[in-house]
Amino acid sequence: MRTPDRTPLDRGLLRDALAIGAAAAMIGISFGAISVAEGMPKWLPTAMSLLIFAGGSQFLAVGMLAAGNPVAAILGGLLVNVRHLPFGLAIGGAISDRLPLKLLGAHVLIDENTAFALAQDDEHRRRQAYWLVGSTLFVTWNLGVIAGVLVGGAVGDPNVYGLDAAFPAGLLALILPAMRDRTTRTCAAIGAVIAVAATPLLPAGLPVLAALLGVAAGIVRRFSLQGASE
């Protein structure tokens, strides 16, 4: 929405949001279809997508439920989504100043709209990016899930079509400008090594959390630079 003291909606941002939303819809179709193929009632993946809205942990939960381990599904989802805590701290001020919108904004907090928001230069553009990408993904993901539930088992694993790479590729493109900073590059490289090394050893989702240890390198470097300047 355009107001006299606000900048208009960026067309490039809208284009990017629709593009990543299309990818979300395709993966949502796969999730809905896989859920039904695993024997879940049709209402469950739809309700999960509307009320939880966390793609990665939803796939994990379906796998654990299909294996007959609901406790692992809950604990795994919590572990995978614990990354949202630092996301909220980083982006909380850009969501809204009003409590109802903050609560709604917390529900659509995901990797993609956080990354898009943090890539903007000022607070208004951050807020615009956050809500545009978040709402677009929420709508397209849920429409995709509903379509997948109706289709049933006709759509297979998104890995077959390479759709699983769509979100990581989009996020990589967004963080490339930050790679100019040496400390950021060091943290990212160490985190990547940790994640790859931990993948064969830890359950799904945990290697990503272990990669956060790469941030410790940045903290050590920052304190070292401060000590050297004193």
| Binned average pLDDT, 10 residues per bin, the chain of 230 residues | 52 83 85 81 89 81 74 74 76 79 85 82 84 92 90 58 52 62 79 85 70 74 61
What confidence score (pLDDT) does residue 185 get?
Answer: 80
Q: Give the DSSP letter of residue 98.
A: S
As a whole number of angstroms, the distance between CA 196 and CA 61 comes to 22
Distances (CA, A) of 188 to 5, 96, 120, 172, 180: 38, 30, 20, 11, 12
As a whole number of angstroms, the distance between CA 223 and CA 137 comes to 39
What confidence score (pLDDT) does residue 143 get?
Answer: 94
Where are the chain's structural domains? 11-165, 181-223
What confidence score (pLDDT) does residue 4 get?
Answer: 38
What confidence score (pLDDT) does residue 105 get?
Answer: 84
- Encoded amino acid at 111, one letter: D
The reported pTM is 0.65
